[in-house]
Amino acid sequence: MKNRIICLDFLEKAQCLSLYCYDKDGKHINNITDWRLAQFQNHYGDSTITKLDIFQYTYAVLI
């Protein structure tokens, strides 16, 4: 173990995708719209697909 990070390269090239945005009052707003959810559910013929499912799928594809 080291007491400092040897290479910061992984931080420079990292990307973070958030499920929510927050307004000035701290209320969260989902980044996946109801329209997008309906598009996924219609495409796959599965009404049990959730916004979290879409988020996790997208994150997995991008990583």
Average pLDDT on 12-22 reads 78
Average pLDDT on 24-52 reads 95
Helix 34-44 crosses helix 51-62 at what angle (to 10 degrees)?
Answer: 80
CB 47 within 8 A of CB 41: yes
CB 46 within 8 A of CB 37: no
**Does residue 10 fall inside a structural domain?**
no
Higher-confidence residue: 44 or 13? 44
As for how many domains the chain has, the answer is 1
pLDDT score at 5: 63
Mean pLDDT, all residues of the chain? 86
pLDDT score at 40: 96
Which residues partner with 29 through β-bridges?
21
> Does residue 15 come out as left (phi exceeding 0), alpha (psi in the -120 to 50 range) or beta?
beta
Higher-confidence residue: 28 or 50? 50
Q: Is the pLDDT of residue 25 over 90?
A: yes
**Does residue 3 fall inside a structural domain?**
no
State how far the Cα of 35 lies from the Cα of 13, in Å rounded to an integer: 31
**Does residue 29 fall inside a structural domain?**
yes
